[in-house]
Structure 1
Amino acid sequence: MAIRFKRRDREDPEINLIPFIDVLLVVLIFLMLTATFSRYTQLQVRLPEADADAAQAQAREIVVEVGPDGRYAVSGQMLAASSVQALTLALQQAAEGQTEPTLVINADAAATHQSVIHVMEAARNAGLQHITFATQQPRGR
């Protein structure tokens, strides 16, 4: 004799996943906060040594003076025109044959910002990448 159960009397099992997801999120946050991250991409590199005095002796400088009236002098020679194009040409001529020269901007305290910006724009046009500004110590020290 075969016993048959009616499907209507029996309920399907139901699993509630929401508490399970909540617990997993709390565990995930805990693991993220307590995990230690190490860098696997770091390499042990031994850098070459160089003599600092020899490097400074090779550095070439191009000095640009900016007067309070907006006139320019490149390496001690006054420029006839004070345009960006004339300054670019003078910087290119001063930098010929030099590898990565340093441009030193020596601007008067009364010089306008615009005249210093013209020097920086001309340096960019001439391909000069190393720029520095000259200053002086106060007289009281």
Structure 2
Amino acid sequence: MRLSSGKLPDEPEINLVSLIDVVFCLIVFLVVTTTFDHRAALNLVLPTAQQPAPVEEVAPLVLVVDAEGRYFLDQDEVLRRDTASLKEAIARVAGADRQRPVVIRGDARAPVQALVTAMDALGQLGFTRIRIATAPEARP
């Protein structure tokens, strides 16, 4: 009586090709459904205005002032809130280009002093094309 057939038993294996396909589809789905809106990083309430701002041809330098009076330049926070630190950060980001347009995105609840400090620092550096971002006024 012979109990073994002389063949080695089949080893179970995991098919990695289909697993890689499923993971790749999940990654593609997550990338497509994710929003890449840089404005979603900070929760700002912009002041309203009747006239929308014209579109600039050159990418403007964006200076964000949040509700607590903190400054952000190109998604980086300026750690100190004094004029000298702000001027240094603006000069580092803008370089020598003083004709570049600047958009100040100030929260409607931001302290007025924070906005005045930002405009003062930009003026001392020689920027002349300064705009304040607003939201369109709600229609009744």
Name the TM tier (shorter chain).
Answer: 0.5 to 0.7
Correspondences of 1:29-40 after superposition (within 5 Å): none
User: What is the CA RMSD across the aligned residues, in angstroms?
Assistant: 2.1
In structure 1, the gaps of 5 or more residues are 1-55
Higher relative contact order (CA 8 A, sep 6+): 2
Partner secondary structure for residue 93 of structure 1:
helix
- 1:93 matched to 2:92? The reply is yes
**Which amino acid in structure 1 is aligned with residue 94 of structure 2?**
A
Q: Which has the larger radius of gyration?
A: 1
- 1:111 matched to 2:125? The reply is no
Correspondences of 1:1-141 after superposition (within 5 Å): 56-57=56-57, 59-98=58-97, 100-138=99-137
Aligned length: 86
Residue by residue, what CA displacement relative to the aligned partner does 1:30-59 show, whole Å, maximum 9, x if unpaired?
xxxxxxxxxxxxxxxxxxxxxxxxxx43x2
Structure 2 Cα separation of the partners of residues 68 and 116 of structure 1: 11
TM-score by length of 2: 0.55
TM-score by length of 1: 0.55
Q: Is the 8 A contact 1:101 1:130 kept in 2?
A: yes
In structure 2, the gaps of 5 or more residues are 1-55
Structure 1 Cα separation of the partners of residues 130 and 97 of structure 2: 15
Q: Is the 8 A contact 1:60 1:98 kept in 2?
A: no
**Which amino acid in structure 1 is aligned with residue 87 of structure 2?**
T
Percent of residue pairs identical: 24
Structure 2 partner of 1:33:
none
Partner secondary structure for residue 106 of structure 1:
strand
Q: Is the 8 A contact 1:89 1:126 kept in 2?
A: no
Structure 2 Cα separation of the partners of residues 95 and 113 of structure 1: 24
